[in-house]
Amino acid sequence: MGNRESSKRPHERLEVWRDAMDLVEAVYRFSSQFPDSERFGLVSQIRRAAVSVPANIAEGAARRSTPEYLRFLSIARGSLSEVDTHVQIAERLKLASPNEAVSDLIDRCFAKLTALMNALERPDRG
């Protein structure tokens, strides 16, 4: 076939999508230490929000218009804020110890999502 890099889907070329995928893995590991009583509560919520981040980035990257792309990136950023809130709740409730890797990935994804959105919103972008 050809070079795998050139055949990647649009979202797979995005560093923010790859970081968001790393965040999903980190959140699953982080939430696996929660008590069983939280399996249908906070574990479900934090994992659903984490999965939503790369999923919305991917869906936006597949859209044909910039406004649609921006809308899905905005949804991804909202889900990222939800993940951050769930992490803080888990830490406050002593369900888990603070996790620097998760916090760093949240910060990195938020900064990259914001930068991508700003770049797409620039009138001189193309």
69's enclosing H/E stretch is helix 66-92
Q: Is residue 49 part of a domain?
A: yes
Q: Is residue 97 part of a domain?
A: yes
- Res. 125 pLDDT band, cuts 50 70 90: low
For position 39, which CATH number holds?
A: 1.20.1440.60
Alpha carbon distance 65, 71 (integer Å): 10
Q: Is residue 74 part of a domain?
A: yes
Q: Give pLDDT tens digits for 32-66.
A: 999 999 988 999 999 999 999 999 999 999 998 99
- Contact assessment for residue 43 and residue 73, using Cβ atoms and an 8 Å cutoff: no
CB atoms within 10 A of CB 60: 25
- Contact assessment for residue 30 and residue 102, using Cβ atoms and an 8 Å cutoff: yes
Q: Is residue 1 part of a domain?
A: no
Q: Is residue 3 part of a domain?
A: no
- Structure-token match 């972008």, residue found: 125
Q: Is residue 66 part of a domain?
A: yes
pLDDT at 50: 98
Q: Which residue range forms the structural domain that includes residue 84?
A: 12-121
Q: Is residue 83 part of a domain?
A: yes
CB atoms within 10 A of CB 51: 18
Query: Can you tell me the mean pLDDT for 87-97?
Result: 95
Q: Is residue 2 part of a domain?
A: no
- Contact assessment for residue 35 and residue 95, using Cβ atoms and an 8 Å cutoff: yes
- Res. 92 pLDDT band, cuts 50 70 90: very high
Q: Give pLDDT tens digits for 9-27.
A: 889 999 999 999 999 999 9
- Structure-token match 């981040």, residue found: 53
pLDDT at 1: 41
Percent pLDDT > 90 in the chain is 85
Mean confidence (pLDDT) of the chain: 92
Name the residue among 13, 83, 11 with its Cα closest to residue 45. 83
Q: Give me the number of domains the chain comprises.
A: 1
The answer to whether residue 95 scores a pLDDT higher than 70 is: yes
